[in-house]
Amino acid sequence: MKHTPMGYEVVDGKIVINEEEAELIRTMYAVYLLGGSYKAAAKAAGLPLKHSGVKHILQNKKNLGNENYPAIIDKETFDAAEKERLRREVALGRDRNQGKPRPRATYYVGFSVSEVPRKYKDPVQQAEFAYGLVRNEVIR
């Protein structure tokens, strides 16, 4: 199993661009930005990837380069692909939580326990007995 992202390889302890794989990634970006689907982008690159695999590759920020990884694509291409992905989500009605704050759940729970009599010498058994006496209540 390869632990370095597609488009990269380790040579003499350094991460360098694998030009063959990097060209496949560039092809996927180009096809996607020309209106192709994720599957079409993978097919054009000759890769047997599913939708989620291509999406993962196109959203990998390491492709932009950082202190460890050299850049495979430029920021404009990466941003354009992300903008196109968001545009398609909205157009297809798949932008369920975009820009909406998630509702926070509030749980009102109170616990009570009466005086716990000493019933067991074994501390584990006593603890199990004591926990069995705890009652919880939903407080509104």
Write down the pTM of the prediction.
Answer: 0.68
Instruction: Tell me the average pLDDT across 89-115.
Output: 76
Q: What is the pLDDT of residues 12-70, one digit of tens each?
A: 999 999 999 999 999 999 999 999 999 999 999 999 999 999 999 999 999 999 999 99
Tell me which DSSP letter residue 104 carries: P
The pLDDT value recorded for residue 139 is 56
Q: How far apart are CA 42 and CA 6, in angstroms?
A: 13
Tell whether 39 and 72 lie within a shared domain.
Answer: yes
Kindly give, in sequence order, each residue whose CB lies less than 8 Å from that of residue 9, ignoring residues fewer than 6 positions away.
15, 16, 17, 18
Domain match, 64 and 132 both: no
Integer Cα distance of 25 and 8 in angstroms: 11
Pairing of strands 135-138, 109-112: antiparallel
Whole-number Å distance between alpha carbons of 53 and 60: 11
The answer to whether residue 24 sits within a structural domain is yes
Same domain assignment for residues 115 and 85: no
pLDDT at 103 over 80: no
pLDDT in tens, 69-86: 999 999 999 999 999 999
Q: Domain containing 79: what range?
A: 8-91
83 and 134 share one domain: no
Q: How far is CA 59 from the centre of its chain?
A: 10
The reply to whether 102 falls in a domain is: no
**Does a structural domain hold residue 133?**
yes
**Which one has a higher pLDDT value, 73 or 3?**
73
With respect to residue 3, please indicate whether it lies within any of the assigned structural domains: no
Residue 51 belongs to domain with CATH number: 3.90.1750.20
Are 82 and 29 within one domain?
A: yes
Q: How many domains does the chain have?
A: 2
- Contact between 43 and 52 under an 8 Å Cβ cutoff? The reply is no
Q: Cα–chain-centroid distance for residue 22? A: 22
Measured distance CA(134)–CA(128) in Å, rounded: 10
Clarify whether residues 115 and 68 are in a common domain.
no
d(CA 86, CA 39): 17
Identify whether residues 43 and 15 lie together within a single domain.
yes
54 and 81 assigned to the same domain: yes
Residue 90 to residue 22: CA distance in whole angstroms? 30
Listed in sequence order, the residues at least 6 apart from 125 whose beta carbon sits closer than 8 Å to its beta carbon are 119
